[in-house]
Structure formats: C-alpha cells, structure tokens
Structure 1
Amino acid sequence: MKRILLGVVTLALVACESSPSSPGSEFEPTLSLENIEEHLSVLAHDSMFGRRAGSEHELMAAEYVRDEFIEYGLEPGVATYLQTFEAEPGPYTSQNVLAVIPGEGSLAGEWLVLGAHYDHVGWIVDSDTALVFNGADDNASGTALLLELARSLAEWEAMGGGGPEGRRSIMIHAYGAEERGLVGSGYFCDNPTVPMGGIVAMLNFDMVGRLSQNGLILIGFSSSPDWLEILSEVGGQLPEFRTSDAGLSRSDQACFYDQQRPVLFFHTGTHNEYHQPEDDIGLIDFDGMMTIGEMAVGLVVTLAERPEAPVFSGVLQTE
C-alpha cells in the first residue's frame, strides 16, 4: 500500500458492547489464530521472494489463495478463480483471485466485497546479497486475515447463516499489483463480475499486523452516515479505534469509493519497516490480528443480515 498520513479527520471512538440487530442463525463464525499464523508464514516466507507484481512468485501466492478458497468450498468469482490482466510498464501479467459466498432470500442480489492485496515489492541484490522484502505486514497480514474470514464465513453460510430476510452475497477478493498503483482492484472496478450498483459496501484489509504498536484506524468512516449505527449492532465488545478520511485513495478501496460505494479500510498504520526487508513475521501482532478479525467477521455478518444497506454519503477529499 501507499504510505498514509493520518490526521485529516481523526476522531477517538470506542464502540460499546451491544447485541446484534437480528437473530439470524444461532451459529456464530469463529476464527483460528493458528490458521492466520500459517497463512502469513507461507505468504511472507523468503521462498515467495517478495511477491512482486508480474513475477512467478506473485502467481505462486495467487495460486495459494485460490487453493485455499477451493478447500473452503467457495464458489469461483470467475471461471478459474483467477481474473487475469496485463498492465504497463512491461507489459506484465498479474491476477486477482475472486471467490463467492452466495446469498439467499430477498437480499441475495446485493453484494458485500471483502478485499486485500497479496502482492508486495519483491527483492533486490545489494552487495551480492539478495534482500527479500517479505511484506509480512504489507500485506501478507491482510491476505492472511482475509483467508481466515473467508473460511469462517463459508462455514457460517453452510450452517444456515442469515437473518429473517436471508443474507447478502459476499465476494472475497485478493488483488494483484496493488504496489504498482492499485492495478488489480482498479481492473476489477473497470471489469466487474457483478453489477457495480449491486455492491452495497467494500471492506479492505491492508497492513493489519501492528495493532499493539499503532492501534486500529478505520479509513473511510465518512463514506456512509450509517457506519456508526451498523457497528453499534455488532455483538460483543469492539476494540478502540480511530477514524480518518486520509488515505481513501491509497489502497484498494479507492475505486469502489470512486464508484460511490460505502467503504471501510482496516489499517494499523505505517512504521519504520514499511517497504523494507525488515517487515518480517517476527514483528506481527497476531493477537491483534485476531481482535481485528473478530470485529470484522461480526461486521460482515451484520451487513449481510440487516435489511437496510449502508448509503453513500457523498464525495470527500481523499488526499
């Protein structure tokens, strides 16, 4: 992702304990810390050589994500799960990995999008030594969390998850070539696999591995006047978070926002290891990722079940 300067809009906000707005299924989706750790250890391993866009190692990461989607029983978002595209300079070939959890009932024709980019900046040779930029936080963390959310939500769907009016369909997106200028998400927005007007919200997870260091920032909170009410409907105690509208144009939610879709970007801030070889797995706050994941899965279930979709609140500054 691109470095974000916070402070354009910053509000201290703590969501209090509350109950879900609708009874839905009695089955509550749960997350596994072990799964998150395993995904991140694979994606941020030296053998991935930094997952640079257009490289064989980016493709390896995409295939890993695809295989996990298949194992969870997710439906393909395109025929092979891989939405392939060419981009400049190069040209080079990259791919998005798209999967679907189908909805049911009167809400099934509306869509939630959960997204994270899986690429990073690659590797270099310095004084005859290969320096691999593993990108553990940027953005193996977001991809690992996305995978565990997908597994948990697929299980929730299989157990009959949904509210009195059914549930919205959910698209799970792992984007390629984010580090080359948000190319993968931009390609999807230009070539959507469902009508863009049917997408009611997009949640993006980019650099979510440093909660204990920087806290949680929800970027795009002003993209809908309904976010505060919706979060108040999520069961359980939510973590403290700050809100900002800075950075709306600097990660994969940008093109959805430009299409006037409500967005939330989950982010735990930049740090000295950003785009450096030191961004490695040993610095990841896995307990913090679980905290964010539990908040996110509750939010997704609430969004999927509630009768009213969030509304877009108008065009904001996105510097």
Structure 2
Amino acid sequence: MKNLILSFAFLSLVSCKKEIPTPVTLEKDVTFLASDSLQGRETGTEGELIAAHYIKDRFESMGLSPKGNAGTFFQTFSFAPKNDPHGEVSFRESGNDSLITGTNVIGYLDNKASNTIVIGAHYDHLGMGGEGSLYREGAAIHNGADDNASGVAVMLQLAEKLQNEKYKGNNYLFIGFSGEEMGLLGSNYFTKNATIPLSKINYMINMDMVGRLNEEKALAVHGIGTSPIWGQTVFAANTSFQLAEHESGVGPSDHTSFYLNDIPVLHLFTGQHDDYHKPGDDSEKLNYEGMRMIEDYILAIVAELDNNGKLTFTKTKDESAAVPSFKVGLGVVPDYLFSGKGMRIDGVSEGRAAQNAGLEKGDVVIKMGDSTVVDMMSYMRVLSTFDVGDTTTVVIDRKGEELIKEIVFVKD
C-alpha cells in the first residue's frame, strides 16, 4: 500500500509540473501512449495511471472542464478480478487491496446547448499479455498503438477541433475509457454512474482501432441502424472511404454500453491485422494520414447534424438475438471490413483447426457442413453447433476457386 501511495504522489507531481505544448500531433499522442515505459497500460497498473494523467493534462491544456468525480477529470471504479473468464464483473467499493481500480478520464466542452455528444475511446490495453493476448511466447509488452492509442489520439484532436464556432449546436463530453479489454467496464460504469444526465446525451461516437486504414480506404461503421438519420448522414459526410456499414449497436467495444441505454451510436474501425493483441502493435506501423482522414470524417458527421436537434433512437434488428455460445473455435480472425457473401478470414492462429486444415488469410468461408455461411452471424450460429472432436467440411472461396477442406475441432 505504501508503494501505491508513493506512485500516486509521483504521478500527481509529474502531472502538476508537466506542461504540454500545443498543438500536439496524432503521432506524438500515440508515441507517448504506446511507449514501452507505460508497460501496455493494463487496467489498474501504474502505466495506465500515467496514461490517464497524460489524457487529463491534454484535456486541461485545451481548456476543457473536468467532468469526473468531485470536480476532477477522473471517474474511478473498483472491481474484483474474475476467476471465471466467462463470468461477469461486479463493481465494489474501493479500499480493498484485492480489488482493481480503473480510471475513466472525462473532459467537457460546454456550449450551453440542450444536448451533449459523447466522443469516446478506450485507452487501456493488455499490459504484458495474459488473457486476451494472441502471443504465445511468454510475457511481453503489448503497446496497443492501434488498440487503442489510435482512437484516443483522434479523440484528443477532435477535442481541439470541436471548439470551433461551427460546432456549437451541442455540448461535447470526451471520455477516455478504462477497463475495455476486461469487458467494457469503464463505459458500463459510466452509464450506470453518468456525470451528466443520460437523457441529455444526443449520440455517442466511439473510435476503437482506427490506425490501420488500408490502401482501399475501407472503414467499418457500426451502429447505422441505431438512428434513422445515420444512413443518409454517413453517406453525405463521406468523401474518402469505402464504407462497410453495419446496423447493430452491439459489439465488442464501448459504444455498446450507450446503445443499451437507448442512445444512438456509431463505432468506427479500420479492421484487424496480424499485430492485433500482440507485442507488434507499435506506433510506427500506424497510418497517420488515414487517422487524419477519419478525424475529418467525424467532424463532417457532427457538422451535418449540428442543427438537427436530438436524434431519434432505434433498436437494431439483431439486438434481441443472443450471441451463440461456443464450445470450439475455428482459430481465425474474421475480416470485419468484408461486406461480401460469407466470412472472410483476416488471420489464422497457429495450431488451431483452421491452420491444421490449410485455411489461409483471405479465404472466404461460404459453407460449413450442410449450412451456408452468408455473413458473420450465420458463421457464428453454425460454429456454435459443433463440439470438441467433431469433424466437418468447410467450403471456401480462394481467389475465385471453391475448395473443400476437412476441419477437426480440437480443444483450445
């Protein structure tokens, strides 16, 4: 406990003395947040706290108002680590040494408007690896440059740009979420303990992994179905991207917590890659020009809706459909930017069923067993029917040629 108190004192001292020159570039924000010195920003660690203070100092340097607890930029929450990886986390009162404490960082731009737009990105990552890591060679720093220093950096740029007079139709709440990698904990806690009335939130935009825009400029936009106006808005604001639109407001990132509270959401995502949840996700690999394009795109969306008042919320078609539970995995990373028929593979894990059967990155799964695979949801439904030891055939489209592969589902 003494060491923890000293760490907090050190962080406070650094925060008080540090002056952040403006303007700060995307590159500088990502380089700091994804540096080895932060040891992967795992929730509750000193590295995450250093990142939290950095974001706070950036908010403060831009003149944002604190909107955390007790007049600060911080909203802390404590929870017990999960023993069961499939179990739910429950929040607890702090003061117990066995608890982990996460820290949301919240800044507010008050335009005296009726409604507020939430701009969010999680800043935690996997630390030295462990649960969630796809790296199999022991402990190593997972810097998480794309996941999600990229989203935080874009959020910080937006916090500066949205102070322009042409965006005065709404207030803005900027949130760096903690605990996303452990189960959307920071956004979940915020929506249960919101520092502004949820009824005043117009909509929420989430950036999670926006740093690897590819040559085709493919950008996934999730949540299109959460308001009737999103479809025309994302189209009207787009001048650069090949959009992969997804209706659902539910997904593995922080926008879900807001959607479940009847708030329209958009989630922007440039796709997974070979460095996902591995030590190789470093700052020099990001497409910073692509990130600036995404920043401009979000500004265009906000400007398009600036005088529209509060958006209408709609539930998406699949929000009541339970996500299937799985006893086995194929051992692939799906390509979430793929909008064609089937499920395209974006990566293959070593020693798993897909690699053993000869499946490769770029293959499109179009059939498993007797069931046709038309999209991600149908793929998951079919996969949920298999057990360890089962054998089936998979039909793939590989560069226009249909191949049949035999799959044996092994224990993970």
Does TM-score exceed 0.5, indicating one fold? yes
Within the candidate set 180, 200, 223, 2:226 is matched to 223
Q: Does 1:83 align with 2:88?
A: no
Larger mean CA deviation between 36-45 and 274-283 belongs to: 274-283
Q: Residue 202 of structure 1 corresponds to which residue in structure 2?
A: 204
Alpha-carbon distance, 1:237 to partner: 2.3
Q: Which has the higher contact order (CA 8 A, sep 6+)?
A: 1
Matched residues in 2 for 1:233 and 1:242: separation? 15
Q: Does 1:57 align with 2:47?
A: yes
Percent same amino acid among aligned pairs? 36
Q: Does 1:239 align with 2:248?
A: no
Matched residues in 2 for 1:316 and 1:50: separation? 37
Matched residues in 1 for 2:260 and 2:136: separation? 44
Q: Is the 8 A contact 1:110 1:168 kept in 2?
A: yes
Within the candidate set 244, 254, 270, 2:272 is matched to 270
Q: Residue 134 of structure 1 corresponds to which residue in structure 2?
A: 143
Q: Residue 306 of structure 1 corresponds to which residue in structure 2?
A: 307
- Counterpart mapping for 1:1-319 below 5 A: 35-78=25-68, 79-89=71-81, 90-104=98-112, 108-123=113-128, 131-154=140-163, 156=164, 160-162=165-167, 167-212=169-214, 215-232=218-235, 234=237, 237-245=239-247, 248-303=250-305, 305-318=306-319, 319=323
Question: Which 4+ stretches in 1 moved above 6 angstroms?
Answer: 125-129
Q: TM-score, normalising length from structure 2? A: 0.63
Q: Specify whether residues 38 and 259 from structure 1 end up closer, same or farther in structure 2 by C-alpha distance, changes over 3 A only.
A: same
Matched residue type, 1:97: V
Q: Specify whether residues 237 and 249 from structure 1 end up closer, same or farther in structure 2 by C-alpha distance, changes over 3 A only.
A: closer
Matched residues in 2 for 1:266 and 1:167: separation? 22
Q: Is the 8 A contact 1:216 1:266 kept in 2?
A: yes
Q: Specify whether residues 113 and 62 from structure 1 end up closer, same or farther in structure 2 by C-alpha distance, changes over 3 A only.
A: same
Matched residues in 2 for 1:127 and 1:167: separation? 49
- Deviation digits for residues 236-264 of structure 1, max 9, x if unmatched? 72422111146823100011100111100
Matched residues in 2 for 1:34 and 1:192: separation? 29
- Deviation digits for residues 147-183 of structure 1, max 9, x if unmatched? 11111113x1xxx334xxx511110010011111000
Q: Where is the helix percentage greater, Structure 1 or Structure 2? A: 1
Matched position secondary structure for 2:276: coil
Matched residues in 2 for 1:285 and 1:312: separation? 33
Matched residues in 1 for 2:162 and 2:280: separation? 33
Larger mean CA deviation between 180-189 and 126-135 belongs to: 126-135
Matched position secondary structure for 2:63: coil
Matched residues in 1 for 2:65 and 2:166: separation? 17
Alpha-carbon distance, 1:129 to partner: 8.1
Larger mean CA deviation between 245-254 and 45-54 belongs to: 245-254
Matched position secondary structure for 2:176: strand
Alpha-carbon distance, 1:233 to partner: 5.0
Matched residue type, 1:221: I
Matched residue type, 1:83: Q
Number of residue pairs aligned between Structure 1 and Structure 2? 276
Larger mean CA deviation between 306-315 and 203-212 belongs to: 306-315
Alpha-carbon distance, 1:300 to partner: 2.2
Matched position secondary structure for 2:274: coil
Q: Is the 8 A contact 2:249 2:255 kept in 1?
A: no
Matched residues in 2 for 1:88 and 1:316: separation? 34
Q: Specify whether residues 167 and 132 from structure 1 end up closer, same or farther in structure 2 by C-alpha distance, changes over 3 A only.
A: same
Q: Is the 8 A contact 1:239 1:295 kept in 2?
A: no
Q: Is the 8 A contact 1:33 1:286 kept in 2?
A: no
Q: Specify whether residues 284 and 127 from structure 1 end up closer, same or farther in structure 2 by C-alpha distance, changes over 3 A only.
A: closer
Q: TM-score, normalising length from structure 1? A: 0.80
Q: Specify whether residues 127 and 111 from structure 1 end up closer, same or farther in structure 2 by C-alpha distance, changes over 3 A only.
A: closer
Matched position secondary structure for 1:132: coil
Q: Which runs of 5+ in 1 are unaligned?
A: 1-31
Alpha-carbon distance, 1:132 to partner: 0.6
Q: Is the 8 A contact 1:49 1:132 kept in 2?
A: yes
RMSD of Structure 2 on Structure 1 (CA): 2.4
Matched residue type, 2:310: A
Matched residues in 2 for 1:276 and 1:168: separation? 38
